[in-house]
Structure 1
Amino acid sequence: MDFPQEKEVEKKRNVQDTLSKNLQENTTFLQSIYNNCPDVIFRTFLIGNSLRAVLIYIEGLSNVEEIDKNVLSLLINLEVGMVLDFSTLGEKLPVSKVKQVVKIQEVIEQISVGNPVVLIDQQSHGLSMGLAKFEKRSIEEPSAESVVRGPRDGFTETLSVNTAMLRRKLKSPNLKMNTMSIGRYSQTQVAVMYIDGLVDQTLLEEVNNRLSRIDVDGVLESGYIEGFIEDYPYSPFPQMLNTERPDVAAAHLLEGRFVILVDGTPFVIIAPITFYSFYQAAEDYYQRFLMGTLIRWLRYLFLLIALLLPSTYVAILTFHQEMVPTILLLSVAKSREEIPFPALVEALIMEITFEALREAGLRLPKQVGSAVSIVGALVIGQAAVSAGLVSAPMVMVVAITGIASFSIPRYNAAIAIRMLRFPIMFMAGTLGLLGIMLSLITIIIHLSTIRSFGVPYLSPMAPMKGKEMKDVLMRAPWWSLKTRPRLTGNQNTYRQANGQNPSPTRETKQEMNKT
């Protein structure tokens, strides 16, 4: 469906669909499109002092040195007779990537990505050369995902660099890529990467169909794509995983998933995904499995603390004081005897203040952001206790809850927990522990109905897949992770050979016993 305000623009675009043999007509039409664009250069020249041609490129996006050396100088000195066979002209240019363009839209697309285009008189084709060159950020350690052990390279804002980094991780020719342009004005390059033979073809067709239906002004970040193709947009839980780390993307590709890369952002999208994927870190698989299992259990514990601790505190103080030991209850009651607010209001004040401090710390410059969040929390917490607005136990509860939420590896998953914390507190303040149980039942029912590109969100626990549980509640040793997840990697089930248990052989045991 076309936007009403763009009807006139669309009419102008369709005036001339393909290139004409008249060079002046092509040049005039393109100049009208790039009106008031002084950075778009139209360089007219003569081939062999007789045949007119024009070179079109955008200043700052193309390699001017290479254009002068390998394009202009060669064509100006080229004999006219050699141009008559236009199909072989590209072979004479010392440029690694040369492409013929026939339509005006193709010329615009090539110019927009930095590839200069040469149009020649009496020819209905143009030549696009892969001489794009622009300023780009170097490969650095990802700032949003700290690395304890593992590769320290992260994706950048350049699509070609990101795809090359994945190619470096997975050198198999089965790593395939589909590219498309999305956005009427931005014309953002989007790539879908997958491993042929591992990904489900129905899944691949579905993601391509969803991407092809996107019709929007521009795509400036991968979050735009995520918002258009997710299954349940009104759910607080994310249904796609985003990462800056190539090793994380490569690991998910090996499990039969696909990766969406968007030009202009270092964050790539991974799908289909499950609930437990957001609580697994890459370091779990780089350390010994006992350590990885222990840390994973701690994350699940911190998840419950981040979600339920303030609500449980409010429910117990409001309705279930008999559950608290007498000495502890007297201590809490003493600290609350001068507090003018009920426990629910007290918890809301502290939680909102803590969220405000956390958001302020993120938006401020890095040099002062952490200092403001930490010092602000200490000062405001101490001042609130001294002023009698909140009790000291409530400050401790909110602080422990905040620390627990920081242990969640994925930022978007942590946001979902932070959002749900507030309605659960309201339920706890009105119905007590019954309200908390009703909230948990509602959340579990909601999670059971969500699917990410057809994959149940709670799999492999619901539906139960016993063999796959070894990588959910625990991190089994690598030699026991023989199969891929069934719902994503069912095209090629086994990912390693049998019998790789590192136990010593019988001969080795006998030699060890002799010594």
Structure 2
Amino acid sequence: MEKIKEVHISPHLKENTDYIDDLIGVGKSWDILAKPFSYGNLNLMSYTTNGFFLTMNMVMILENLEKSIGDFIAKHSEEKFQLDELVDFLNTNVSFVQVQSVPKMYDAVRFILSGTLIIFIDGYDQSLLIDTRIYPMRSIAPPMTERLIRGPHDGFTEAMLMNTSMIRRRLRDPRLRVELMQIGSRSQTDVSIMYIDDIVNKDILENIKNRLKSINSDGIIMGEQSVAEWIGRVKWNPYPIVRYTERPDVAATALIEGHIVIVVDNSPEIIIAPITLFQHLQHPQEFHSYPLFGTYMRWIILLSVLGSTLLPGVFLLCNQYPHWIPEWMTFFKAQRSDPLPLWTEILLGELFIDVLRLAVINTPQVLGSAVSILASIVFGQFASSIHLLQPEVMVYIAFVMIMEFATSSYEVAEANQMSRIGLLICTALGRKWGFLIGLIGLFVLLLRTKSFGIPYLWPLIPFRWKNGLVEVILRRPIVDITGRPKVLIPKKQKRKGT
């Protein structure tokens, strides 16, 4: 694709068609359509990609285009016209579509492969673009994650245009900006950056834009995850520095707060950046419940995060030092000695649950219930009777899995699993000092993590109460929320009347 950038559109039609036919495989690729036109002495060649339009719509557009070009040629039969004159005439006379000139061969090829109709005209060093696209897409459906009992049930689709319009539907702000760029030298994936111009921090915005422009990859096929890893420069830190959401209301709320939203074509999840750990833990259901119950839900999520991370390590530590356990907490004691060490049993329980989860995901739906029944029999009865796993281990692993599923962010839950396993291994190797070292290591990791320069543990470190930690602990009434997260350094801190 880099070589195409050096190619200019020739005023000679045959040179353009020879180049295009060889480059994109006209005659070899059945989905590339090429159709010549001729009006008097004017010769044209059009290109598009099949599957991006409705046949009847295209027939109507081509009939309208033929008539319009014929009328224009009749008015300029004895004089040479400028291409801009033809563009203006077609914009006025061709119905329902956008017409514009394309001066670069690189852009012309990109538009052909993205489904627009490109027309080369003999004698002109520019091409015409007529937008006839109707992207293939599934219908709007409830999100797979972040499900609600009450509230809107529309979720993003794989079509970027549909996703941006769903956000626009909720934010009719004239200051909402949607900037388009293409990423990937081969995939040429469309990416939209959305922000509210008079709220967003321009330094953070320019940082994210520059990172997007610097992506040096031939394909962004895995959508939002590929983009997030490139711009976040993700290595081996498991904690996500962007938030993914399938909900338009969550994306619109993030924009209001001063975040930046990145919409990647072909992905039903959009990226919210920058983000903190505690913002990951907010669930939209909290804001579709009354404040008291929303606050209760938030505490449940926070406790689930702590429990799913620390419980196996604490359970192992208590059994390494059983004299620490008071009488009313004897349920923390393992009641028997098995051939395998306790830490090995806990780790095996983790692995068994993950194997089961993958089996359910990969099993055809009609067989999913059979897999679940088989797993419940094996894990629930025989694993204990053959002394592979203790009953207490299975109970605590089940608690951990439930708390992991209760975590509002799937990505944070995955990261907590890695931390949980790390703490378990540290405790097995170093007992109480290993557990302490593991905790300190986890804290240092979170302390050093930043999301595009934003501290990951804010508002705990650095500490901030108003418009900070109070929003983490409490789901305050909407009427009492007057500010935006200070850590984002928004242009407008106050929310009311802006």
- TM over 0.5: same fold? yes
2:487 is paired with a residue of what secondary structure?
coil
Q: CA deviation at 1:326?
A: 5.6
Alignment match, 1:336 = 336
Matched, 1:24 2:17: no
Question: Cα offset for 1:134?
Answer: 3.6
* Aligned: 1:288 with 2:290: yes
Structure 1, 63-72 or 37-46: larger mean CA deviation: 63-72
Distance between the aligned counterparts of 2:112 and 2:267, measured in 1? 21
Identity of aligned residues (%): 31
Q: How many residue pairs align between the two structures? A: 484
Does residue 99 of the first structure (1) align with residue 100 of the second (2)? yes
Q: Tell me, what secondary structure is at the counterpart of 1:285?
A: helix
On the 8 A contact 2:304/2:406 being kept in 1, the answer is yes
1:419-438 deviation per Cα after TM superposition (whole angstroms, max 9, x unaligned): 11112111222333332222
2:257 partner SS: coil
The one-letter code of the counterpart of 1:474 is: L
The alignment status of 1:463 with 2:458, answered yes or no, reads no
- Between 262-271 and 461-470, the greater mean CA deviation after superposition: 461-470
1:87 aligns with 2:119: no
Name the SS of the counterpart of 2:30 in structure 1. coil
Q: Which residue of 2 aligns with 1:427?
A: 426
AA partner of residue 103 (structure 1): K
On the 8 A contact 2:118/2:128 being kept in 1, the answer is yes
What is the CA distance between 1:95 and its match in structure 2?
3.9
Q: Counterparts of 1:358-397 in structure 2 under 5 Å?
A: 358-369=357-368, 372-373=371-372, 375-397=374-396
The offset of 1:255, in angstroms, is 0.6
For the residues of structure 1 that align with 2:203 and 2:471, how far apart are their CA atoms?
25
Q: Which whole-Å CA distance do the structure 1 matches of 2:175 and 2:234 have between them?
A: 31
Inter-CA distance 329–74: structure 2 relative to 1 (3 Å threshold): closer
The answer on 1:38 being equivalent to 2:39 is no
Aligned equivalent of 1:399: 398
1:142 corresponding residue in structure 2: 143
Q: Distance in 1 between matches of 2:314 and 2:425?
A: 11
Whether 2:152 is the aligned partner of 1:119: answer no
Distance 1:425 1:115, change over 3 A: same
- For 1:435 and 1:74, the matched residues in 2 are separated by 75
- Contact 2:52 2:134 survives alignment (8 Å): yes
Give, as a single letter, the amino acid of the residue that structure 2 aligns with 1:303: V
Q: CA deviation at 1:107?
A: 0.9
| Alpha-carbon spacing, 1:341–1:327, altered in 2? closer, same or farther (3 Å) | farther
* CA–CA distance in structure 1, aligned partners of residues 205 and 489 of structure 2: 13
Which structure 2 residue ranges, 5 or more long, are not aligned?
Answer: none
Distance of aligned partners of 1:205 and 1:105 in 2 relative to their CA distance in 1, 3 Å threshold = same
Deviation at 1:213, TM superposition (A): 0.5
TM superposition shift of 1:82: 3.9
| Counterpart-to-counterpart distance in 1, 2:369 and 2:267 | 25
**Residue 33 of structure 2 aligns to which amino acid in structure 1?**
I
Q: Deviations over 1:163-190 (max 9, x none)?
A: 1111101001111011101111111000
The corresponding residue for 2:407 is 408
- 2:259 is the counterpart of 1:262: no
Q: 2:51 aligns with which of 60, 68, 81?
A: 60
Partners of 1:330 and 1:370 in 2: how far apart?
32
Map of 1:5 onto structure 2: none
Distance change >3 Å, CA 493–CA 328, structure 1 → 2: closer
2:440 is the alignment partner of 1:441: yes
- Counterpart of 1:257, as a letter, is H
Q: Name the CA shift for 1:327/1:60 in 2 (closer, same or farther; >3 Å).
A: closer
Give 1:264 shift.
Answer: 0.5
- 1:175-213 C-alpha deviation (Å, 9 max, x unpaired): 101110111111100011000111001111101100000
What does residue 222 of structure 1 align with? 224
C-alpha contact (below 8 Å) 2:325/2:332 kept by paired residues? no
Q: Which amino acid aligns with 2:449?
A: I
Contact 2:318–2:332 (8 Å) recurs in 1: no
Query: How far apart are residue 231 of structure 1 and its match?
Result: 5.0
Q: Give secondary structure in 1 for the equivalent of 2:488.
A: coil
Deviation at 1:378, TM superposition (A): 4.5
Q: Whole-Å Cα distance in 1 between the matches of residues 304 and 72 of structure 2?
A: 74
The answer on 1:346 being equivalent to 2:345 is yes
Q: Does 1:472 align with 2:472?
A: yes
Q: Aligned letter for 1:395?
A: M
Mapped partners of 1:174, 1:435: distance in 2: 53
C-alpha separation between the residues in 1 aligned to 2:328 and 2:486?
A: 52
Tell whether the 8 Å contact from 2:282 to 2:408 is kept in structure 1 after alignment. yes
Give 1:68 shift: 2.4
Q: CA RMSD in A?
A: 2.2
Q: 1:285 to 1:489 in 2, by over 3 A?
A: farther
Q: Mark the CA change 1:271 to 1:367 in structure 2 (over 3 Å): closer, same or farther.
A: farther
TM-score, normalised with respect to structure 1: 0.89
- Whether the aligned pair in 1 keeps the contact of 2:135 and 2:159 (CA below 8 Å) is no
**CA separation of 1:38/1:418 partners in 2, compared to 1, >3 Å: closer, same or farther?**
same
Cα offset, 1:496, TM superposition? 1.9
The C-alpha deviation readout for 1:81-118, integer Å capped at 9, x for no partner, is 44643323233322431110111111111111111011
Q: Which stretch of structure 1 is more off in the superposition, 248-257 or 357-366?
A: 357-366
Moved more, 87-96 or 247-256: 87-96
**What stretches of structure 1 of length at least 5 have no aligned partner?**
1-8, 499-515
Q: CA contact under 8 A between 1:50 and 1:80: conserved in structure 2?
A: no
- Stretch of structure 1 that moved more, 58-67 or 306-315: 58-67
- Which residue matches 1:511? none
Q: Partners in 1 of 2:288 and 2:370 — Cα distance?
A: 32
Residue in 1 that maps onto 2:488 = 488
